[in-house]
Structure 1
Amino acid sequence: MNDQSITEITREATIPDAAAGRRLDAVLAELFPEFSRARLQRWLKEGALTVNGTSPRGRVAVKGGEQVRITATQSEEGVVEPEPIPLEIVYEDEALLVINKPAGLVVHPGAGNAAGTLQNALLHHDARLGGLPRGGIVHRLDRDTTGLMVVAKTLQAHTHLVEQLQARTVGREYLALVTGTFTAGGKVDAPIGRHPRDRLRMAVQEAGKPAVTHYRIDTRFPAHTLLRCKLESGRTHQIRVHMAHLHHPIVGDSLYGGRLRMPGGVESVPAPEGPWPPRKGDIEPPTVADCLRWFRRQALHAETLTLVHPARGETLSWSVDLPTDYAGLLEALTAHRAVVEEAEAEERNRGWRP
């Protein structure tokens, strides 16, 4: 690709009444999540972004109901280059494509990840995506989170999908393996903002953005629980932060999970066949404990995606299986559960008298 690319950007939106009293720059960031705050601020100053026909300062308070319009050219220096990175495409048509993202794939270039990203792969798959913001990407998954993502292939589809995300009509269900046991499902309604001391982390903060996660129990294990989580909002690291807030961090989450907590008995339970390597310096087969130590990414998988097709108006839904490493870990925990249940049954039988 050329060293410079220019894209015509046109957007319109109405500031919701519920935003009354909030700063304009914060509201704009939520209305147009595909653009950085710095870019939105620059367009305000240049007059390319108007509110009711004027270009106010970003810190002014909004009243609700204002009409926002962007008419700008987006010039990108150091354009993202296409790279032949394999993609698992679940669905594709003229308006969108749905992919199953593997662990380890960063969504778009950033600090420390100038290449080798999903965006690079998308541009190799379809060069026309270079004319869309971030190659058509409308939402993200963390680097080591797996599962379904939707990508727009036209500007109209991009606008429609972003509006669906803002209206919270896109259905996303995740499988999250967490530490500890639950007795029932529930809801976490806790705002999320940047951590005050660690800029790499997010945290539950009173001044953060609203964030709601619903969860229900899928499978119980002796010391872990597999949850099905649905998002009302899409904050950075939302499920990871909310589960840590409940003191049930996601297994393998080095950023929010802290030290690995090992349930009793797993050192002696052989693991079923799986993707894990044998223990170093040992010819014995791996145990469940080895599997837990080996799984070094957050056990979070975007299993199901539901949305309204931006061109046809019909509701579509997709689901994908767990990746091999995640499925193998669940098999290992299932093996441990069987051993625990057998021991408990023997204990009950010893205490029984005819």
Structure 2
Amino acid sequence: MTADDRINGEFEVPPELSDRRLDQAVAELMPEHSRSRIQGWIKDGDLTVNGKVKKPRDKVMLGDRILVSAEPEVQVTWEAESIDLDIVYEDEHLLVINKPAGLVVHPAAGHAAGTLVNALLNYAPEVDKLPRAGIVHRLDKDTSGIMVVARSLVAHTSLVDQLQTRTMGREYDAVIVGTITGGGIVDQPIGRHPNQRKKMAVVRDGKPAVTHYRLVERFPAHTLVRCKLESGRTHQIRVHMSHIRHPLVGDPVYGGRMRLPQGCTPELKEALRKFQRQALHARQLTLVHPETDEEMTWEVPLPQDIQELLAALRAHAKALESL
């Protein structure tokens, strides 16, 4: 790596940042970088104040000289692949896509290729210079719907901040087992399952997680609900709905064995049996544009498989009404 490849900066603390924490002051001076990355530079000695290594919480004073010389975050090498993307919106900072069910977001063991990251590297090669190829939030492989990808460092920092401060709005549609009479809130911490490490669960020492849900359409033994997240824990909606004994239809991890409703028609039985993924779709995304500060909202329709499932549920309801 040459000197030109490093992240370099030289600043003199202005009056408005005097008596602020070092990491806070640098975050103001270098807003394109996240606070956690800046803290890492400080701890590694890549950021000094008046030639001395400090701690992130140390205060800076008017006229202090801050020097930064840090290596960019090391990226794993992933291959670009020509994979079709359903692009909802794009500009130089953002890429909003409608992810189909079945598409893995990040390369990992067992999924080294054919992922969203591979597709992004082909469509927008600039994301190779960003942490996690610009992906700031993810959808499970078998969850469909809308997600945003950063195309610039400024956008990445802004989107991460919006997620952390819970100002990014995300709504999901889900088909759950059982009927409810109205909406509610699940406020339960989520962490690793104590015995099954590949699963998440509601656990006492988990991270705070809040899911709001409301009734959209009720069927004889199922309900279409709309969920809004306050937090973004792994498998959050799936875990929370299962916790209140209304797991998602088709969920292979948290759904338990398939339950057929009383008086189930052959058509509904077939629809439920062939639905082999969690019935979960990210329908709407709201955020503040990192460059213009404009609030923007996008919405994508339900995919074909969930529409067919809902059609079968409606037909079953009509069949029962005619008895």
TM-score by length of 1: 0.75
Residue identity in the other structure for 1:116: G
Give the Cα–Cα distance (whole angstroms) in 2 for the partners of residues 73 and 162 of structure 1. 21
Give the Cα–Cα distance (whole angstroms) in 2 for the partners of residues 13 and 331 of structure 1. 54
Identify the residue that residue 25 of structure 1 maps to in structure 2. none
Identify the residue that residue 199 of structure 1 maps to in structure 2. 197
Identify the residue that residue 326 of structure 1 maps to in structure 2. 306
Tell me if structure 1 keeps the 8 A contact 2:23–2:39.
no
2:321 is aligned with 1:341: yes
Identify the residue that residue 113 of structure 2 maps to in structure 1. 115
Identify the residue that residue 221 of structure 1 maps to in structure 2. 219
Tell me if structure 2 keeps the 8 A contact 1:157–1:311.
yes
**SS in structure 2 at match of 1:338:** helix
Give the Cα–Cα distance (whole angstroms) in 2 for the partners of residues 9 and 328 of structure 1. 55
Q: Residue 291 of structure 1 is aligned with which of 238, 248, 271? A: 271
Give the Cα–Cα distance (whole angstroms) in 2 for the partners of residues 127 and 133 of structure 1. 13
For residues 84-117 of structure 1, give each alpha carbon's deviation from its aligned partner in whole angstroms, at most 9, with x where no partner exists: 0110000001110100000011111112211111
CA-CA distance at 1:71 after TM superposition: 6.8
Cα distance, 1:314–1:13 mapped onto 2, change above 3 Å? farther
CA-CA distance at 1:168 after TM superposition: 0.5
Is there any run of 5+ residues in structure 2 with no aligned partner, and where?
10-21, 25-33, 58-66
Identity %: 58
Residue identity in the other structure for 2:271: C
2:314 is aligned with 1:316: no
CA-CA distance at 1:264 after TM superposition: 1.7
Give the Cα–Cα distance (whole angstroms) in 2 for the partners of residues 200 and 9 of structure 1. 41
Tell me if structure 2 keeps the 8 A contact 1:7–1:75.
no
Identify the residue that residue 133 of structure 1 maps to in structure 2. 131
Give the Cα–Cα distance (whole angstroms) in 2 for the partners of residues 127 and 91 of structure 1. 17
Give the Cα–Cα distance (whole angstroms) in 2 for the partners of residues 111 and 252 of structure 1. 24
2:162 is aligned with 1:164: yes
**SS in structure 2 at match of 1:84:** coil
For residues 198-247 of structure 1, give each alpha carbon's deviation from its aligned partner in whole angstroms, at most 9, with x where no partner exists: 11111101101000000000000100010000000000000000001001
Give the Cα–Cα distance (whole angstroms) in 1 for the partners of residues 247 and 86 of structure 2. 29
Count of paired positions = 287
**SS in structure 2 at match of 1:303:** strand
Identify the residue that residue 272 of structure 1 maps to in structure 2. none
CA-CA distance at 1:79 after TM superposition: 0.3
Residue identity in the other structure for 1:341: E
TM-score by length of 2: 0.82
CA-CA distance at 1:265 after TM superposition: 1.9
Give the Cα–Cα distance (whole angstroms) in 1 for the partners of residues 55 and 203 of structure 2. 31
Please provide the CA RMSD for this pair. 2.8
Give the Cα–Cα distance (whole angstroms) in 1 for the partners of residues 246 and 69 of structure 2. 46
Q: Residue 234 of structure 1 is aligned with which of 232, 235, 241? A: 232
Tell me if structure 2 keeps the 8 A contact 1:175–1:227.
yes
Q: Residue 153 of structure 2 is aligned with which of 146, 152, 155? A: 155
Residue identity in the other structure for 2:293: G
**SS in structure 1 at match of 2:207:** coil
Give the Cα–Cα distance (whole angstroms) in 2 for the partners of residues 122 and 315 of structure 1. 24
Cα distance, 1:42–1:96 mapped onto 2, change above 3 Å? closer
Tell me if structure 1 keeps the 8 A contact 2:288–2:296.
yes
Cα distance, 1:204–1:338 mapped onto 2, change above 3 Å? same
Is there any run of 5+ residues in structure 1 with no aligned partner, and where?
1-5, 15-29, 57-61, 63-68, 270-286, 344-354
Tell me if structure 1 keeps the 8 A contact 2:159–2:290.
yes
Tell me if structure 2 keeps the 8 A contact 1:9–1:74.
no
Identify the residue that residue 88 of structure 1 maps to in structure 2. 86
Residue identity in the other structure for 2:268: V
Identify the residue that residue 306 of structure 1 maps to in structure 2. 286
Give the Cα–Cα distance (whole angstroms) in 2 for the partners of residues 212 and 70 of structure 1. 39
**SS in structure 1 at match of 2:283:** strand
Give the Cα–Cα distance (whole angstroms) in 1 for the partners of residues 278 and 47 of structure 2. 39
Tell me if structure 1 keeps the 8 A contact 2:140–2:235.
yes
Runs (4+) of structure 1 moved beyond 6 Å? 40-45
Q: Residue 211 of structure 1 is aligned with which of 201, 209, 212? A: 209
